[in-house]
Amino acid sequence: MILLLLKQSFITTFFLHSSELCENRKLHVDKKTLYIPGTQDVWELIQEAKIGKSKFANGYIHKGFSDIYFKNLNTYMDIINNNEIEQIVGYSLGGVMGILLAYELSFQGRPLNTVFTFGCPKIGDIKYRKDFKVYRIYNKKDIVTQLPPLCSHIGDGIHVDFSLGSVLENHRIENYKNKLESMLD
C-alpha cells in the first residue's frame, strides 16, 4: 500500500511538471523550479544535427549541445542567481540544458536537488554526479531519446509507454503529459 502511494505521488509530481511545460513553452521560473523548453529555433536545430564532441566536466558531450549550452549559459546563470532555484525541469533539448546546468552548479558548490527531464536525448559520456538527482522520463518509441548515437543517458530512467503512429507525436510533451495523466487514473 505504501509503495503504491509513493508511486502515485511520484507520477503526480511528473504530471505537474509536464503540465507546466505544456502551458508555458518558454524559459521561466515557477516557485523554485526553472523550466527549460525544447528546441526553440532553427539555429538550435542545426546545432543538434552537428557531429562531434566537446570536452565537458569529466568527459565529453555532443558538440551541438555544448554550443547551445555555452551560448545560453549567461542567461541561465542570471536566472539562477536571481531566484532560489532548487530543481530544473526540461523537455527534450531543455532536459540536456538542465543536466548540464546542474553539473555547472555542482562544480560551483551550489548543487540542485533534482533535475526532471521529458523526452531528453542522450548527452555524451560524462559521469553521473551523486550530489543531485536526475529523473529521466522517456518513451521508447520517442526517437529523440535514442539520439545522438554513441552517447549515453544520465539519470534514472522512468519509462512511459505510448505509440501514436509518428515520430513527432511520440515526442510531443503534451503526449507525455496525457500518458502521465492516464497513469493517475
- Render pLDDT for 12-39 as a digit per residue (tens, 0 to 9): 777 777 777 767 678 889 889 999 999 9
What is the model's pLDDT at position 10? 63
Query: What does each C-alpha distance from 140 to 11, 57, 118, 144, 159 come to in angstroms?
Result: 18, 28, 12, 9, 7
What is the model's pLDDT at position 111? 82
Other Cβ atoms closer than 10 A to 154: 26
What span, in angstroms and rounded, lies between the C-alpha atoms of 122 and 2? 33
What is the model's pLDDT at position 55? 94
CB 113 within 8 Å of CB 41: no
Per the CATH hierarchy, to which homologous superfamily does domain 2-184 belong?
Alpha/Beta hydrolase fold, catalytic domain (3.40.50.1820)
Q: What is the pTM of this model?
A: 0.91
Handedness of CA 43, 122, 89, 5 (dihedral sign): positive
pLDDT tens, N- to C-terminus, the chain (185 residues): 444 444 566 667 777 777 777 676 788 898 899 999 999 899 998 999 999 999 998 899 999 999 999 999 999 999 999 999 999 999 999 999 999 999 999 989 888 889 999 999 999 998 777 778 999 999 999 999 999 988 999 889 989 999 998 999 999 999 998 888 888 77
What is the model's pLDDT at position 22? 66
What are the backbone dihedrals phi and psi of residue 111, each rounded to the nearest 5 degrees, phi first? -65, 145
Query: What does each C-alpha distance from 52 to 2, 65, 148 come to in angstroms?
Result: 46, 10, 10
What span, in angstroms and rounded, lies between the C-alpha atoms of 147 and 3? 33
